[in-house]
Amino acid sequence: MDFDMAIEQSIDGIVTDLQDALRGRILSDPWFSGIDIFTPDDMSADGLNKVPADIEQRITQTLSSVKGLCIVIALPAYGSVSPDSPGIYSDDVPILVRVIENPQMNRSSRGLKKPAGTVATRIMRRLHHFTYRDCVIVVKSAKRIPDENALIWDVISQTALNLPPLEVQSPETGDPA
């Protein structure tokens, strides 16, 4: 495995783990039961293989279903990397948690009846100062995003990521390179 590929897998693994931890933190509150939470790294079974899920399709299906509400968790960027760190350290990694609601479905007699703004506020309270490994989540803001077809709220948080230096083994000897 080359150095660039090893770093990419390491970063991807940490991001996926953090997204899963955030989902777990939100779902640990029974109030969120029944709400689907998606991440860009979700996988769906396709026969014997696992393939990336079509997030857009899953969101559309959820919003048009009886639920009419879902949450999407993403780390849209890694922030700036400190040049003085022996590994990769970034103290300004943004986290986006987007709440998307189809009010006609969500607030119908069979819907979840949990308005997007209320869900966003509850997410802020669940995630602020949540700690996972060395990451402390700090909620920065929540804001309504204009959209003609849905009610959308974004909860913006921030954390730091610290990746230690990567030891790559020499292909010839198996020793650290």
Q: What is the pLDDT of residue 174?
A: 56
CA 1 to the chain's CA centroid: 27
Per the document, the length of the chain is: 177
Q: What is the pLDDT of residue 36?
A: 94
Q: What is the pLDDT of residue 135?
A: 84
Q: What is the pLDDT of residue 17?
A: 86
The DSSP-derived string for the chain is: --HHHHHHHHHHHHHHHHHHHHHHHHHTSGGGTT-EEE-TT-EEEETTEEEE--HHHHHHHHHHSSS-EEEEEE-----PPPTT-SSEEEEEEEEEEEEEE-HHHHTSTTS----HHHHHHHHHHHHTT-EETTEE-EEEEEEEE--SSSEEEEEEEEEEEEEPPP-PBPTTT-SB-
Could you list the mean pLDDT of each consecutive 10-residue stretch along the chain, which spans 177 residues?
Answer: 45 79 96 92 52 75 92 76 69 89 95 97 97 90 95 94 62 57
Q: How far apart are CA 79 and CA 8, in angstroms?
A: 15
Q: What is the pLDDT of residue 126?
A: 97
Q: What is the pLDDT of residue 120?
A: 98
Q: Which CATH class is domain 3-163?
A: alpha beta
Q: Which two tokens stand for residue 9?
A: 């897998």
CB-based burial label for 106 (10 Å; 0-12, 13-18, 19+): buried
Classify strands 36-38 and 69-74 as parallel, antiparallel or unpaired.
Answer: parallel
Q: What is the pLDDT of residue 172?
A: 64
CA gyration radius, the chain: 19
